[in-house]
């Protein structure tokens, strides 16, 4: 049995040397899944509630609760709900809301089935962005046994008084479109759909830098989008707003290419976002994926887990220095090594064990922190595009190359930069309740991130957060090796 470090550093080196690249990629996926299952069982999940105010003597109970706290309640009642942002944790608290109908690449996992992912969002918000999150998986079934978007809308509206922002997650289409668009307009706090806006933001960031490397303009390149769910439709929409040429863009869903003759999409008003793209893109009504890929310079795939969804021959048919984003989770539509062998110049995936991780984790912690800091009423598309350029520019200053188009999650300052840039755009867009300067938001965010990390370090060093049993790592590693041999 190869030795594996608790840090999980050099994961490639723990598997047998005679593993092929395909075996290695599969083994890492199995290992990470099995270890996640075992360690979630070991810890009983990964989030807990910890007070941020101290107890310095018995009477402090009377300050934090009755009779003292009565003053807080009456102040909010009498002076307006704005006081709740400063007198409670509301100003730094995000609800991570899902009906678990499209969890990663696993589909409908039942309402509680999404808790692991939603806890993960809350975990990353705290560690990367310094803001608190609560996982809330809800039942969206109506009396007919159907998933009803109005149930989610009503649920979020009822939650508003307790939170500073809402992060929607893993809601299947077409319900996700109505839920987001309705709540963005009818709520007085930011409502953000991370599968749509979050994925759109970070993908645009990666594309900006990939195009910088190959010295091409976003308005001139031919792009193919494989998959037309919430993620790719929003990615397309943001790329259009950022200067993409709709005449050079072709999208594919499970039934074929999007264009003006797709009467099946036009006939269903729930898919209005897809129909907008049918009207804007693919004016030549290209139907065949092989024809679409011929000469294409960018492929952005968010369809279904691979690894054989995107074909090597598609990439071989692309234009010069092709850019391939294969971002399905948990397994990309084509593994990076296979895409490179087919001629891809830059390859990105959603995973951190490959170069160029284009993952929402680089977006939502900083974006939501920036929105919370100036008490924004919504996250506008302009704020999302600003965040994309913030992330891209941060990486560019460090020196981008074909294997580094995005910052990584351990580059702490990117989240503070992003929060400050987003906050300034919120003020510019007129959706912020508070005025602040860039440096103040940056310093505030960096302070909260460092506090979150120092708190975790203290809990780990004092064994309040215990390391997982080493046997769990060995067990997961053996499962991974057995799965590919």
Q: Tell me if 363 is assigned to some domain.
A: no
Tens-digit pLDDT profile for residues 346-400? 999 998 889 999 999 999 999 999 999 999 999 999 999 999 999 999 999 999 9
236 and 325 together in one domain: yes
Q: Tell me if 376 is assigned to some domain.
A: no
> Of 289, 321, 349, which residue sits at a domain end?
349
Closest CA to 53 of 65, 42, 35: 65
Answer left, alpha or beta for residue 310, where phi above 0 means left and psi between -120 and 50 means alpha.
beta
Q: Which of 41, 43, 65, 71 is catalytic?
A: 65
Q: State the Cα–Cα distance between residues 431 and 464, nearest whole angstrom.
A: 41
Backbone angles phi, psi at 178, to 5 degrees: -65, -40
Q: How many domains does the chain have?
A: 2
Closest CA to 164 of 92, 244, 215: 92
210 and 290 together in one domain: yes
Assess whether 321 carries a catalytic annotation. no
Closest CA to 165 of 199, 201, 138, 129: 129
> Of 304, 321, 349, which residue sits at a domain end?
349
Q: Tell me if 149 is assigned to some domain.
A: yes
181 and 225 together in one domain: no
Pairing of the two strands 93-98 and 256-257:
unpaired
CA distances from 242 to 237, 250, 388 (A): 9, 17, 10
DSSP structure string for 1-56: -----TT-TTGGGGS-TT--HHHHHHHHHHHHHHHHHHHHHHHTSS-----SS---
Q: Tell me if 40 is assigned to some domain.
A: no
Domain that holds residue 179: 80-189
282 and 184 together in one domain: no
Q: What is the mean pLDDT of residues 60-64?
A: 97
Statement: residue 105 has pLDDT above 80: no
Q: State the Cα–Cα distance between residues 260 and 277, nearest whole angstrom.
A: 9
The contacts of residue 435 (CB under 8 Å, 6+ apart) are: 374, 427
Residue 104 confidence (pLDDT): 83
Q: Tell me if 430 is assigned to some domain.
A: no
Statement: residue 141 has pLDDT above 90: yes
212 and 130 together in one domain: no
Which helix or strand (DSSP H or E) is residue 280 part of?
A: helix 272-280
Domain with 258 in it: what CATH number? Answer: 3.40.50.720
124 and 207 together in one domain: no
246 and 327 together in one domain: yes
151 and 220 together in one domain: no
Q: Tell me if 431 is assigned to some domain.
A: no
> Of 167, 189, 211, which residue sits at a domain end?
189
Q: Partners of 324 in the beta sheet?
A: 299, 347
pTM, to two decimals? 0.94
Backbone angles phi, psi at 156, to 5 degrees: -65, -40
Domain with 185 in it: what CATH number? Answer: 3.40.50.10380
Statement: residue 60 has pLDDT above 70: yes
Backbone angles phi, psi at 163, to 5 degrees: -130, 155
Pairing of the two strands 346-349 and 256-257:
unpaired
Tens-digit pLDDT profile for residues 413-436? 999 999 999 999 999 999 999 999
Residue 1 confidence (pLDDT): 63
Residue 309 confidence (pLDDT): 96
Q: Tell me if 343 is assigned to some domain.
A: yes
As a whole-number percent, the residues of the chain with pLDDT over 90 amount to 91
Residue 435 confidence (pLDDT): 96
Q: State the Cα–Cα distance between residues 213 and 255, nearest whole angstrom.
A: 34
Q: What is the DSSP letter of 173?
A: T
> C-alpha angle with apex 121: 254 to 167, nearest 5 degrees?
75
230 and 182 together in one domain: no
How sure is the predictor about 115, in pLDDT bands with cuts at 50, 70 and 90?
very high
How sure is the predictor about 196, in pLDDT bands with cuts at 50, 70 and 90?
confident
Q: What is the mean pLDDT of residues 201-222?
A: 97
* Widest distance between CA atoms in the chain: 75
**Whether 293 contacts 317, CB under 8 Å:** yes
215 and 239 together in one domain: yes
204 and 319 together in one domain: yes
H-type alpha helices, 399-434: 413-428
Q: How far is CA 53 from the centre of its chain?
A: 31
Q: State the Cα–Cα distance between residues 484 and 472, nearest whole angstrom.
A: 19
> C-alpha angle with apex 332: 264 to 351, nearest 5 degrees?
125
Q: Tell me if 331 is assigned to some domain.
A: yes
Q: What is the mean pLDDT of the chain?
A: 95
Tens-digit pLDDT profile for residues 293-321? 999 999 999 998 888 999 999 999 999 99
234 and 148 together in one domain: no
Residue 195 confidence (pLDDT): 85
As a whole-number percent, the residues of the chain with pLDDT over 70 amount to 100
Assess whether 65 carries a catalytic annotation. yes
Q: Which of 121, 126, 151, 369 is catalytic?
A: 121
């Amino acid at each position: 049995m190869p030795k594996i470090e608790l840090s999980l550093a050099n994961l490639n080196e723990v598997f047998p040397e005679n593993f092929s690249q395909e075996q290695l990629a599969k083994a890492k996926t199995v290992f990470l899944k099995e270890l996640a299952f075992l360690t979630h069982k070991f810890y009983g999940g990964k989030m807990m509630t910890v007070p941020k105010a101290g107890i310095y003597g018995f009477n402090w109970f009377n300050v934090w609760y009755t009779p003292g706290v009565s003053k807080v309640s009456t102040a909010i009642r009498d002076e307006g709900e704005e006081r709740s942002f400063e007198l409670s944790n509301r100003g730094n608290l995000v609800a991570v809301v899902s009906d678990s109908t499209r969890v990663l690449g696993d589909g409908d996992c039942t309402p509680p089935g999404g808790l692991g992912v939603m806890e993960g969002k809350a975990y990353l918000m705290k560690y990367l962005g310094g803001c608190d999150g609560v996982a809330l998986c809800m039942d969206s079934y109506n009396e007919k046994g159907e998933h009803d978007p109005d149930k989610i809308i009503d649920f979020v509206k009822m939650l508003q008084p307790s939170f500073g922002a809402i992060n929607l997650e893993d809601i299947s289409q077409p319900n996700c479109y109505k839920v987001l668009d309705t709540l963005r307009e009818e709520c007085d706090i930011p409502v953000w759909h991370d599968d749509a806006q979050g994925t759109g933001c970070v993908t645009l960031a990666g594309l900006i830098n990939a195009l910088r490397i190959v010295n091409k303009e976003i308005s001139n390149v031919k792009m193919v989008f494989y998959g037309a769910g919430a993620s790719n439709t929003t990615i397309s929409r943001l790329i259009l707003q950022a200067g993409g040429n709709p005449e050079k863009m072709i999208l594919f869903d499970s039934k074929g290419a999007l264009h003006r003759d797709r009467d099946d999409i036009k006939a269903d008003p729930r898919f209005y976002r897809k129909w907008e793209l049918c009207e804007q893109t693919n004016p030549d009504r290209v139907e065949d994926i092989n024809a679409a890929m011929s000469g294409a310079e960018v492929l952005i795939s968010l369809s279904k887990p691979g690894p054989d969804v995107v074909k090597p021959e598609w990439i071989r048919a692309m234009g010069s220095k092709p850019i391939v984003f294969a971002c399905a989770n948990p397994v990309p539509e084509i593994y990076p090594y296979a895409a490179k062998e087919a001629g891809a110049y830059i390859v990105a995936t959603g995973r951190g064990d490959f170069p160029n991780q284009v993952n929402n984790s680089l977006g939502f912690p900083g974006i939501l922190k920036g929105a919370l800091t100036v008490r924004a009423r919504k996250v506008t598309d302009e704020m999302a595009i600003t965040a994309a350029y913030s992330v891209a520019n941060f990486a560019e200053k460090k020196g981008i190359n074909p294997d580094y188009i995005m910052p990584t999650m351990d580059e702490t300052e990117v989240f503070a930069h992003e929060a400050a840039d987003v906050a300034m755009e919120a003020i510019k867009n007129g959706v912020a309740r508070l005025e602040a300067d860039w440096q103040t938001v940056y310093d505030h965010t960096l302070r909260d991130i460092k506090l979150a990390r120092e708190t975790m370090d203290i809990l780990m060093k004092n064994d309040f957060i215990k390391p997982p049993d080493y046997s769990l790592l060995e067990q997961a590693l053996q499962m991974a090796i057995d799965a590919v041999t």
